[in-house]
Chain A
Amino acid sequence: MTQALSRLPSNRGASPATPPAHEALPDLTEVHGLLTRAYSMITGMLDRLRESRTLLEDATVQKIQDTSAKLHEVTSATETATTDILDGLDRTLLLIDRLENGAPAAEIAAALRDEIFGAMNHLQFQDITTQQLHHAASLLHEMEGQLLEFARIFDPTTHPDVEAAVAAGARHAAPVAFDPAATTRDAASRQALVDELLNG
Chain B
Amino acid sequence: MKFLVVDDSATMRRIVINSLNRIGHNEVVEAGDGDEALQKFESSITCIITDWNMPNMNGIDLVRALRARADGQQVPILMVTTRSVKEDILAAIEAGVNNYIVKPFTPQVLKEKLDVILRAASVG
B85 cross-chain contacts in A, Cβ below 8 A: 181
Q: Which residue of A lies closest to B18 (CB)?
A: A120
A52 at the interface (CB under 8 A from B): no
The size class of the interface chain A forms with chain B is 20 to 34
B100 touches A198 (CB 8 A): yes
B11 touches A194 (CB 8 A): no
Q: Are A128 and B104 in contact (CB under 8 A)?
A: yes
In this complex, the member of A130, A181, A184, A194 whose beta carbon has the largest number of chain B beta carbons within 10 angstroms is A194
CA distance A121 to B107 in the complex (A): 8
Question: Are A191 and B102 CB-contacts (below 8 A) given A130-B9, A176-B55?
Answer: yes
Shortest B40–chain A CB gap in Å is 19
- Known interface pairs A127-B12, A178-B53; 9 further A-B residue pairs with C-beta atoms within 8 A, sorted by A's residue number: A124-B12, A124-B105, A126-B9, A130-B9, A179-B83, A187-B102, A191-B101, A194-B102, A197-B93
Listed in ascending order, the chain B residues whose CB lies under 8 Å from chain A are: 7-9, 11-12, 14-15, 18-19, 22, 52-56, 58, 81-86, 89-90, 93, 99-107, 109
Query: Which residues of A does B touch, CB under 8 Å?
Result: 117, 120-121, 123-128, 130-131, 175-179, 181-184, 187, 190-191, 193-194, 197-198
